Structure 1
């Protein structure tokens, strides 16, 4: 009951905060409505006063909130300030489109995760399958994947429709853009748990008795899923509310795009209804995940009869992170002496050549120089945000009753929407983008930490240590954190390129880094319109971002392998 009250209080606070947003920002909603409805009319005091009277703006934000909440009881979310149409049917239609896209994307993500884990299941956990390829796939930006699929598969090959939303065939390309990176992340998280499940006594006994390997693998998946399901719930909500870029590339009237457009236009009734729909979806997903975990694990979770799933990670090849780091460093060192702002219109969109190894962009600027100079801003800021998100996620993950509803609420707010809310109050700029991304980046890590802690507390060695009189502090320091921190750290490193991309996406919308900043993700965004004509303009920043993701994962695996080797010695 206290958890439900806490969840309800967070949802009410967020919706009310959005309701008073124009007044917090000091802007005039009547002026926004006038510009959207009739740009040719002059904003005279009489015209603005008439708009305020008709919309009820002159009575203040709390009167509007009360009227909006009263209408919700009857299924009426009001009328759009911009179009004048009813909000409820429009939001429900957008939610239906997002749910369909989410379902197909989730199916693709499950198939992708299965392929990532296939080798581990086939070899009984003796060999891991989550390698550099899955790390690169996990770090692919959704809007880049969407743009490439739309250009190559949809336009050039003509295999599938690349624009619009008219039936099932129109869902495949956007679902692939969403599902492939999400499935790679889920697969790597699951691949961390499977070797421990396949090394348990029941699995060895089943193999010794000649039970088919596919049956053992199925039970190992069931054994490992409880630690992964909370993150799967986050992906479900994230695929629905956070797919703004994909919905814009493919012109899909989904809930995320509808909410973003309402936020940009300050269409308060649509923005409130869309945010409330995202919150309700997050709550429903969280409530469905908890009984599913209990159903999969059974009474063992309650009785503290689970062995630990976490096993030492096999030592990674030291050459992999060194090689990747050397390549990334060579790109930065080679490009730093070049001028990233030098314009040469005669060299617009030139392909790679000895003079311009990465080619040039639409203004004739050297892409190698821009990639190298953008590394400083991108990497330092993304590393700082990732470190803060890791610390916040672990600390809040230790308090699941407090953080669970907070995670569900924060996860329902896409980074773009969070940036818009922050910008409305604090103004734009790189600091605003960093604050917005940091405000939501910790949620998956907190959910992962809480899920692993819950399962680890039910292990035999922890329950036995507690029965011997060990203090909670001792259990946390000696038993729980050593098992939980390595996979959560790898999870945080896996999300590092996504943090860099989120910063760049906000800069593209004018909420973060501003032109002519060569920030990596911004390079992706500003060169994306030229992907068909000059693919190198997109592939250069995409390649270094994927290289960053591969380096992060390889470094984490190498560090864990070294730690394991030291403990064995």
Structure 2
């Protein structure tokens, strides 16, 4: 039995409904999914409910309190905070999902090949990983973003260049433990090619830990994106993005704290919900020590 009281569930094609059912019964996962779903619905429905422009400046309406026209009030430039928060969600969550997909497309094949082939391929990957592990990830991302220039595209490149390493490590460690097992040897004896073994036999084994890793990593990625935008290395004005909104409201924290509170709470809720989902999945799929 795992920590949430649910039995570990093998991740196979026939077990997927069971995994989904376990997720629905897990209070940790359901809490995270409920928070995330509510924010996604608000993000999608928000533009239809409030049709204010998120970037149009109106100095005559700056720092207004909440009203029917401006549900969360306005910022220091007279822009609707609700509209900017909703539009910022599309930017922050969309970029985070794009980054996770990109790092998985790089990290999973790299880890599979490194762990299965070994030798020089594995040694080369480990030298790259060791070299990039000298400094904390966030410091490296800041350095690369600063070198490339402050904008969203360069920020995405910087994060992807660093984050794929974690996925490659996880996949490599699993492949190293699985490649000498009987089912892999049986596939080799049966004449299966390396690509067939990787695709049909080893790839299914890495799905559970990679799903858990991705669920936890997307929360970290959101924090990195927001942090870089707060430092001026990500989204540039007037683009609405949660980290950039924090930076915009920094000067007005004592007189208008809501300018920082609203995006700060949004970041906190999304990260907490994703962490709850990741922890719940780890218990359900019985993924430990990865």
What TM-score comes out, normalization by structure 2 length?
A: 0.70
Match of 1:452 in 2: 174
Say yes or no: does 1:334 pair with 2:77.
no
Quickly say closer, same or farther: Cα 1:461–1:432, change in 2 above 3 A: same
The alpha-carbon deviation at position 362 of structure 1 amounts to 3.5
Among candidates 126, 129, 144, match of residue 418 of structure 1: 144
Q: Is the 8 A contact 2:35 2:269 kept in 1?
A: no
CA distance in 1, matches of 2:147, 2:41: 37
Say yes or no: does 1:316 pair with 2:23.
yes
Q: Is the 8 A contact 1:347 1:364 kept in 2?
A: yes
Say yes or no: does 1:370 pair with 2:84.
yes
The alpha-carbon deviation at position 316 of structure 1 amounts to 0.7
Q: Secondary structure, in 3 states, of the residue corresponding to 1:348?
A: coil
Say yes or no: does 1:465 pair with 2:186.
yes
1:132-531 equivalence runs, <5 A: 315-317=22-24, 321=33, 324-335=36-47, 337-341=51-55, 342-344=57-59, 347-348=62-63, 350=65, 352=66, 355-398=69-112, 399=114, 400-411=122-133, 412=135, 414-423=140-149, 428-457=150-179, 460-462=181-183, 465=186, 469=190, 471=192, 472-531=194-253
The alpha-carbon deviation at position 528 of structure 1 amounts to 4.0
What TM-score comes out, normalization by structure 1 length?
A: 0.39
Q: Is the 8 A contact 1:527 1:538 kept in 2?
A: yes
CA distance in 1, matches of 2:275, 2:141: 23
**How many residues are aligned here?**
257
Q: Is the 8 A contact 1:315 1:561 kept in 2?
A: no
CA distance in 2, matches of 1:456, 1:490: 19
CA distance in 2, matches of 1:513, 1:323: 25
Deviation sequence 1:192-244 (CA, Å, 0-9, x none): xx969xx9xxxxxxxxxxxxxxxxxxxxxxxxxxxxxxxxxxxxxxxxxxxxx
The alpha-carbon deviation at position 389 of structure 1 amounts to 0.7
Deviation sequence 1:166-193 (CA, Å, 0-9, x none): xxxxxxxxxxxxxxxxxxxxxxxxxxxx
The alpha-carbon deviation at position 391 of structure 1 amounts to 0.9
Q: Which entry has the higher C-alpha Rg, 1 or 2?
A: 1
The alpha-carbon deviation at position 125 of structure 1 amounts to 1.9
The higher relative CO (CA closer than 8 Å, separation ≥ 6) is in: 2
Specify every segment of 5 or more residues in structure 1 that has no aligned partner in the other structure, as ranges: 1-123, 130-193, 200-311, 564-569
CA distance in 1, matches of 2:54, 2:87: 7
Q: Is the 8 A contact 2:148 2:154 kept in 1?
A: yes
Q: Is the 8 A contact 1:125 1:195 kept in 2?
A: yes
The alpha-carbon deviation at position 474 of structure 1 amounts to 3.9
CA distance in 1, matches of 2:81, 2:257: 12
Quickly say closer, same or farther: Cα 1:482–1:554, change in 2 above 3 A: farther
CA RMSD of aligned residues (A): 4.0
CA distance in 1, matches of 2:203, 2:165: 18
CA distance in 2, matches of 1:404, 1:513: 33
Specify every segment of 5 or more residues in structure 2 that has no aligned partner in the other structure, as ranges: 11-17, 115-121, 286-290
The alpha-carbon deviation at position 396 of structure 1 amounts to 1.4
CA distance in 2, matches of 1:358, 1:465: 63
Quickly say closer, same or farther: Cα 1:501–1:327, change in 2 above 3 A: closer
Quickly say closer, same or farther: Cα 1:550–1:560, change in 2 above 3 A: same
